[in-house]
Structure 1
Amino acid sequence: MRVLFVTFAWKTHFYPMVPLAWALQAAGHEVRVASEPELLDTVTEAGLTAVSVGPEETLEQRIRRTQEEGDLPKGPIVPPFSTDSLYEIGDGYREGLPWEDITWLFDNVVVPRTRLLNDGMVDDLVAFSRSWQPDLVLCDVVTNAGAVAADVVGAAHGRLLFWLDLSLRMRRDFLRAKEQQPLAARPDALRDWYAGWAQKYGSDFSEELVTGQFAINVLPEPYRLEPHAHTLSMRYVPYNGRSVVPPWLYEPPRAPRVLMTFGISARQLAELQVMSVEQVQGILDALADLDIELVLTLPEEARQQLDSVPDNTRIADFVPFNVVAPTCSAVIHHGGAGNFNGTLLHGVPQLLVDSAVDAPAKRIVLEKTRAGLSVSPDEATGPRVREMLEQLLGDGAFRAGAQRLQREALDQPTPGALVQELERLVAGDRESRPRP
């Protein structure tokens, strides 16, 4: 079968797709990865065949232009209400956000983001899909253009989840609240976005465009935020791009090794930086007399701004996460999908400096399993980080909790084992509905 992966031009959204793409390719299926020109070298470096869709404009250029045109705020978008309800995990009933709050989120966050990330890709993606005729389209959870293209050519369509599914939860909250409103007061801007593209290509809107026919989820089932009715489980398999094992990792650590890393996203956009250089320096100073081996990943330009580096600290521009994590006693990170899932997979206690959009839910996962702790970026002072790190290293319950979570993660089917399930799913889809 022909399988098309679709993602916007962001490395950390593409990297988790690679093991499944290679599993399908190794099983004899044809695989293509469609993204904007900015990501093509990253795709081909992974040994996959890329398809260029959308303009040459980079994501950063598009964000800056949209901000200058007044269609996107220049600062962070902060809702004027509590969003705690969005992050609840468990089987209990949740009320959901009220109509005024959920429509605010869709009008100010969800739909503007959808337009920003997808509008430039749709036409090229549909043109390629009509030419290549994929049987299955697998989309990054915020790359909605893939759903439109799948619908146009009648391909099966699934959403790839490497983090908690806030998008589906918000959509369900929206539809629940919408039913309680008078007919004349039910605007649905996300539906309008999908319907506009569907009508352009001779189709009609269906809610399946938003949700996909199924989802592939790497989180163990008890910790999924809002599972799709048809969810396939898959083990998270790390992929870091070009990786080389540094010589200092040949030997075991002389003291408990702690990795502090804030991912690669902040290197692409300054707005995504979790902590200032001054905060990092404060943490280094506070940990300087601890009997640990601290490994800090930091770009060279940021390293040059540090006043001093303690003797127990090693700074590296980049270290393959899946290589260093198994040697660690704790990991301090910002909550990105690669860091969170990678730490979970290796059974290492983690300190989450919770800046990622779904970080509140990840904090709940760590609390439920006692696999780690979390702190907000504003509270991540040197003394506070030291206090929490000493808890992680000194209390064996955190290691035990992390290892329990690891076992649940390892119980998930590997990408290779998932291939046959996807083959059956696509075969059933072909039988159930004719293709255009």
Structure 2
Amino acid sequence: MPSPSPSSAALEKAAYSKVTWRLIPFLFLCYVVAYLDRVNVGFAKLQMLADLKFSETVYGLGAGIFFIGYFLFEVPSNMILHRTGARVWIARIMVTWGVISSAMMFVSTPTTFYVLRFFLGVAEAGFFPGIILYLTYWFPSARRARVVALFMTAIALSGVIGGPLSGWIMQAFAGVHGWAGWQWLFLLEGIPSILVGICVFFYLDDSIAKATWLTDAEKQLLIANISRDEGSRADHSLKQVFSNGRVWLMASIYFCFIMGLYGISFWLPQLIKTAGVKDVLNVGLLTMVPYGLAAVAMVLASRSSDRSGERRFHTAGAGFVGGVGLVLSGLFGGDVTWAMAALSLATMGILTGLPLFWTLPTSMLRGTAAAAGIALINSVGNLAGFVSPFMVGSIKDATGSTTAGLYVLAASLFLGGILVLLATRGQGRVSPLAASASRT
């Protein structure tokens, strides 16, 4: 392709800068409140299990059963979003899960715990793959690693702010109006999802063409880039998507990576406590460290991948780093300093691999097939969110330690990295962005 003229390059840079600043901070906020509601059960566990006399296995099953509901309704939800638009459907998702998340304060038995976690998964199904699909409407594949990473640093930020916030709520509100700290945690962290969900309806635009904040010239340029990008991808029927071996291979890779993610997300507070930190507020403060470092690593690695056009070794390497970190976490789990260093390395590798991974399947599919394919990969991959906490909880009940569970999670990340290398063997680089363009 011929090089763009200086004037068109300037227009393109300005247009993508405008789109990035308009969409990413708001979507980032949506994901922060989503992720807090999904994993705050990890902090509630520090008090809830003793109050309700739950075993580690009950906790692991309840934490993981969220992903059964998530799995069952993921593909239908994304198909509805593709037809109705992100504005209405993402708003519906967020308001519904905010209500159910707040209702978690009324958990009193294992059954109510399981039921509410299941329906929380049903309510949230479609949010993450819906946003990934939505970003493909705005950004071509060459720009996608960085914007997805910026969006997904919300996972890291939710850990940075969610840890101290959760610890403070549980400590400061314990006993207020006769409610336990964990009950206040669910209530207060569920309300923002409802409020932000209402804002989604008024803020998001379903497509480039409907964005009144873009000029006609900017719209034409962005639409042309998306059309050119989609023209390089095959158009698949839904039947072909569900029978496509590469789609299922991508789902398997994502399953391996998600095993590591939810091992960290649901067990990081407990691992820090086990290392010797007993005060719940201090546990919350220390969770900031791994997530803060991971946020930096995610942005730097994705920027490197976009600039070079290299996806394969960036993605696989992140999985290998995460696996090494988990192995070291098991070896040095009794020492706070070494445990924090190992958990930081693990969190950096795990979280960095996720946005890099999503550049692979989104470069394969388009249109309705993209909606179904992304949802299928995400839903199958997120079954690891059920397997991971349940497995670690069962191992801890059986052995009295999480160490063996961490080694299994590490093996999963190593396998994911190997599968990435196999799945992308012979695959060329995407067209790298110019340095100036990658900074938009």
Q: Same fold (TM over 0.5)?
A: no
- Between structures 1 and 2, the one with greater helix share: 2
- Between structures 1 and 2, the one with greater strand share: 1
The structure with higher relative contact order (CA 8 Å, sep 6+) is 2
**Structure number with larger C-alpha Rg:** 1
TM-score (normalised: structure 1): 0.30
TM-score (normalised: structure 2): 0.29
